[in-house]
Structure 1
Amino acid sequence: MLVSTLHYHRQSKLLDIHFDSGSISTLSAEFLRVHSPSAEVQGHHTGQPTLVTNKRDVAISQIEAVGHYAVRILFDDGHQSGLYSFRYLAQLCNDEKSLWQSYLERLKQANAQRESTIAIRVTP
Structure 2
Amino acid sequence: MFPGLAAEHPPVSTCLFDGRAHTYCQFTGGELAAYEGVSGRRIWQRGGRSGDGTYPPVILSARHGLLYAVEGPGRHRVLGGLTGAVRERRAGAAPSLVNGFAGLAETDPGAHDSPLIALRTLR
TM-score (norm 2): 0.26
Which has the larger strand fraction? 2
